[in-house]
Structure formats: structure tokens, C-alpha cells
């Protein structure tokens, strides 16, 4: 390796959403340099990206300002070497369909969710390696214990700060239609200084297999557990997709517990219940023995049709038209809209304008219309993201396969929408909005100086 050239990463280790600056120096002016990134996930799959750059008059390349002429991404994009990674061999939909790991079915590397991710960076001229560097993306900072929750019928995982000398805010994090425990956002939220309970509610251990007639009292027990075990200053909740729907349901029906909420790609109503074996039928949620009103799924295809059409379409089955037809009926607006104006704290809704799984941006606008009409007493915001679909990852995450997912329970190839580059760009706006929202709900983070 020629030691006159160098690669610099700033900072070399940081919480995953932190902006990372990559720069190279020591090349000849005008020299063509390929800068690449590489990681190996826990399943042994190699993911890699690269861009071809031209050194400036000082022999330097700064990815904040230098365009990639070609590669796995093109143009000026400081995060391109993170989001444009592809698995090797080159992925097509069969990589996701045939995957055994749920992460791979979602089109992202498979890692222990609290493990630090090591990304190797290299600079080549021709076939010659000129420089290398490593960046370590931390998912969970020191001082947090990860504990299983099995208390009565409650199931989940808590990320709890060991230092109990002062109170802090607590967040309940909820998964979407894939079930299990939510561990995409949870470790990062805990790293900001909050206690986080990732509460499973279906498709986990001895919990129900599907989302059907799940009592809100289960989550009420979860809030009471948080009050008893974590003693938080306040409780907030967040979730994405069906978890975003559930977030608005809980904020509306249990405002005495929920003092802030982030609903990510949600809908303005409750949806029909869903079971991977039986399909769509009945309510998703009940409360005090009564069904939560929901939008019947008259225009959604059967799972058999979804699978067939998903296999034929280039980016999977687009469910949005069917959902929109169901949700735009006057009787649904009149009878099934969630009473979000009853929420007990600030609300943040985050949507992708090109969501092909369901019309979350349109639905979030309906929520805002209702809040405005009802004179909602707390701050609220709808962050609608351009060139973004159903997936809203955190920054410095792989998004190269984000146009679709292979649903791990339904075994259907589903369209998500957006573009990989647009989804990556929106991830920064999403994370910054989330951090700011929790500052509003809880005050300053318990840890000073954490990246936002």
C-alpha cells in the first residue's frame, strides 16, 4: 500500500445516525480514485459500495463536496457509501425471497441490533490499494442494560439505564406487521438518554400469531409496568406502519399514560385485523370489551392474489390503491377515524409521499385536518418526505433494496415505494425530527452532547 495517500473518517466511532465525514488526500491532482466501503454481517454476507472520484487540485477528495462519477451511487452524497451497499453476489429479488434471516428479507444486513457495525473504507487507484480506514457505527452506548420482559402476559425487551440516580423519560417502541420486538429504533433512542420498552404484541413467544382483537388493556399493563419499574418523568410511544397505527390508537384511547407520540407511516383509522393463516377479518384492537372501529378491507386482494401479483411486479405488490379505495369512503371517514384530538401530548407524524404499501401521507393529512378542526391543545407536526416510501430507516443505513420487502409472515413480495437515494436522504430528516420531538416531550436528553 502506498503510504503517501490517506483516508480520514470523522468521527471514526459514533452513534449510527451521526453525520460521518469521509475525506481522502495525498493523490495526484486529477487522479481517478475509487473509494469503497465494505462490511460483513452476522450471517456472513458481504455488503459493499463504491464511488469513482477525481482528486482536486490539491490531490484531495471530500465526499461532502466531491461527486461520485459512477459506482453504486452517483453525484454528491456524503452518505452514499453507506446507503448504496449491495450484498455479494449482486442482489436481485431472490436474495430477499430465499433469505432465512428476517433482516435480509427486508433488504438490509443482518446484525445483532445492539452490536457496533464496522465499515471498512478503502481507496484504490487502478488495482492498487492506496489507503484504508475503518468507521465504527455504535448502536447502543455504554451504561444501558438489555433485559427480557416476561411479567404476567407482557413480553418484550427493555433497554434500561443502569444509573437510576435521577428520573428520565421512557419510550414504548412498537413493531409493525412483522411482529416481534422493535429493535431498529429502540437502541438508538435509549442511547439518547431514555429508557425504552420494546413491547411485543404479536408473533413473539406465546403471543397471538396475528393482529386480531388485541386488547388495549395489554398495552395499559405495559404502561403500568413502565411506571412501576422505570419510574419515568413521562411516557411517550412510537411505532411504524401498523405500529404507527397502534401508536395513534393508544394516544387516543389511553391519553392518561401517553404524553407524546411519534406515528411513523401511520393511517388515520384503525385497520382490519390480520392473521397470516386466515387473512383479513374483524377488528385489530378492542378496548373495555368493545371493538375499536376500523375500516373494512373490501378492496384488498387475497394473500394468494397479492403473492401472484407481487411475484409479477418489478418491485412487489402495491397495496396502496386498494387501501385508498377502502379508506376514502364517507362512512369510513365518519365512523372509523381515530379520535386523535384526545391525545395527551405532542404528536409527530412521519410519512413517505410515495408509500406504495398504504397511503400514509394522505392519511396523515387527514389526522392533521382533524387535529386542526378539533382545536388540539398540544403541538403537532406532519413531516411528509419526498421520494420516500413505506420504509423510514435511521441515517447511515443500507437502503439500496428499499423499494420492496419480502414480508416474513405473509410470504408476499410487497412494494414500498420511494427510491434508495431518496429514502437515505429522508432518514436524516426523520431522525432529526424524532430527536427534536422527544426534546419537546421530555426536555433535554439525559445525556448531553449526543448527536441529533
Element (H, E) at 195: strand 195-199
Within 8 A by CB and 6+ apart from 148, the residues are: 156, 157
Superfamily, domain 144-442: Alpha/Beta hydrolase fold, catalytic domain (3.40.50.1820)
Structure confidence at residue 452 (pLDDT): 28
Task: Please tell me the predicted confidence (pLDDT) of residue 327.
Answer: 93
Cell of 354: 410515495
Q: Which residues of the chain have pLDDT under 50?
A: 446-452
Kindly tell me the burial class for residue 304, based on how many C-beta atoms sit within 10 Å of its own C-beta (0-12, 13-18, 19 or more). exposed
CA distances for 64 relative to 77, 94, 118, 250, 343, angstroms: 7, 34, 21, 41, 41
Q: pLDDT digits over 154-205, tens only? A: 999 999 999 999 999 999 999 999 999 999 999 999 999 999 999 999 999 9
Domain ranges of the chain: 6-138, 144-442
How far CA 86 is from CA of 82, 397, 408, in Å, comes to 10, 12, 20
Task: Name the strand (E) or helix (H) holding 62.
Answer: strand 61-62
Hey, which residues are catalytic here?
241, 355, 390
pLDDT of residue 293: 96
Q: What is the pLDDT of residue 445?
A: 59
The pLDDT, as a whole number, for residue 2 is: 55
pLDDT confidence of residue 451: 31
Q: Are 138 and 16 in contact (CB under 8 A)?
A: yes
Interval 294-312: pLDDT, tens: 998 887 788 788 888 888 8
CA distance 349 to 361: 9
* Grid cell 404507527 in the structure block, residue: 244
pTM metric for this prediction: 0.95
Kindly state the DSSP code that residue 15 receives in the 8-state scheme: E
User: Where do we find the cell 373495555?
Assistant: 288
Cα–Cα distance, 90 to 84 (Å, whole number): 12
Q: So what's the pLDDT on residue 249?
A: 98
Specify the pLDDT at position 409: 83
Give yes or no for a contact between 190 and 184, defined as CB atoms under 8 angstroms apart: no
Class of domain 6-138: mainly beta
Amino acid at each position: 500500500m502506498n503510504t503517501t495517500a490517506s483516508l480520514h473518517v470523522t468521527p471514526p466511532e459514533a452513534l449510527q445516525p451521526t453525520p460521518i465525514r469521509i475525506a481522502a488526500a495525498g493523490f495526484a491532482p486529477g487522479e481517478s480514485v475509487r473509494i469503497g466501503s465494505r462490511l460483513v454481517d452476522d450471517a456472513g454476507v458481504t455488503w459493499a459500495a463504491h464511488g469513482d472520484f477525481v482528486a482536486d487540485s490539491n490531490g484531495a477528495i471530500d465526499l461532502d463536496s466531491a461527486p461520485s462519477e459512477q459506482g453504486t451511487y452517483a453525484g454528491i452524497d456524503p452518505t452514499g457509501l453507506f446507503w448504496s451497499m449491495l450484498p455479494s453476489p449482486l442482489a436481485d429479488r431472490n436474495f430477499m425471497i430465499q433469505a432465512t434471516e428476517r433482516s435480509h428479507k427486508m433488504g438490509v444486513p443482518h446484525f445483532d441490533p445492539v452490536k457496533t457495525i464496522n465499515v471498512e473504507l478503502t481507496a484504490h487507484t487502478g488495482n492498487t490499494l492506496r489507503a484504508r480506514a475503518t468507521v465504527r457505527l455504535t448502536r447502543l452506548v455504554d451504561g444501558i442494560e438489555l433485559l427480557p420482559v416476561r411479567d404476567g402476559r407482557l413480553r418484550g425487551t427493555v433497554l434500561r439505564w443502569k444509573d437510576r440516580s435521577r428520573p428520565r423519560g421512557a419510550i414504548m417502541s412498537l413493531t409493525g406487521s412483522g411482529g416481534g420486538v422493535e429493535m431498529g429504533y429502540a437502541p438508538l433512542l435509549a442511547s439518547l438518554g431514555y429508557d425504552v420498552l420494546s413491547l411485543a404484541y404479536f408473533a413473539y413467544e406465546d403471543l397471538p400469531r396475528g393482529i386480531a382483537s388485541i386488547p388495549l388493556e395489554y398495552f395499559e399493563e405495559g404502561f403500568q409496568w413502565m411506571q412501576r419499574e422505570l419510574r419515568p418523568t413521562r411516557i411517550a410511544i412510537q411505532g411504524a406502519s401498523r405500529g404507527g397505527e397502534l401508536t395513534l390508537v393508544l394516544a387516543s384511547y389511553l391519553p392518561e399514560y401517553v404524553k407524546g407520540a411519534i406515528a411513523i407511516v401511520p393511517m388515520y383509522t384503525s385497520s382490519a385485523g390480520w392473521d397470516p393463516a386466515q387473512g383479513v377479518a374483524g377488528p385489530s384492537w378492542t378496548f373495555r370489551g368493545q371493538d375499536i372501529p376500523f375500516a373494512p378491507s373490501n378492496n384488498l386482494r387475497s394473500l394468494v392474489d397479492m403473492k401472484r401479483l407481487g411475484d409479477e411486479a418489478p418491485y412487489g405488490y402495491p397495496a396502496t390503491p386498494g387501501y385508498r379505495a377502502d379508506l376514502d369512503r364517507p362512512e369510513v371517514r365518519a365512523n372509523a377515524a381515530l379520535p386523535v384530538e384526545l391525545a395527551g401530548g405532542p404528536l409527530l407524524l412521519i410519512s413517505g409521499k410515495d408509500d406504495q404499501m398504504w397511503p400514509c401521507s394522505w392519511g396523515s393529512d387527514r389526522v392533521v385536518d382533524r387535529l386542526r378542526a378539533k382545536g388540539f391543545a398540544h403541538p403537532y407536526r406532519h413531516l411528509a418526505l419526498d421520494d420516500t416510501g413505506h420504509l423510514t430507516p435511521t441515517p447511515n443505513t443500507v437502503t439500496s433494496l428499499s423499494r420492496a420487502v419480502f414480508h416474513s409472515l405473509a410470504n408476499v413480495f410487497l412494494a414500498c415505494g420511494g427510491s434508495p437515494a431518496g429514502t437515505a436522504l429522508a432518514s436524516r430528516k426523520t431522525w432529526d425530527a424524532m430527536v427534536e420531538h422527544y426534546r419537546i416531550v421530555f426536555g433535554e436528553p439525559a445525556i448531553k452532547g449526543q448527536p441529533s
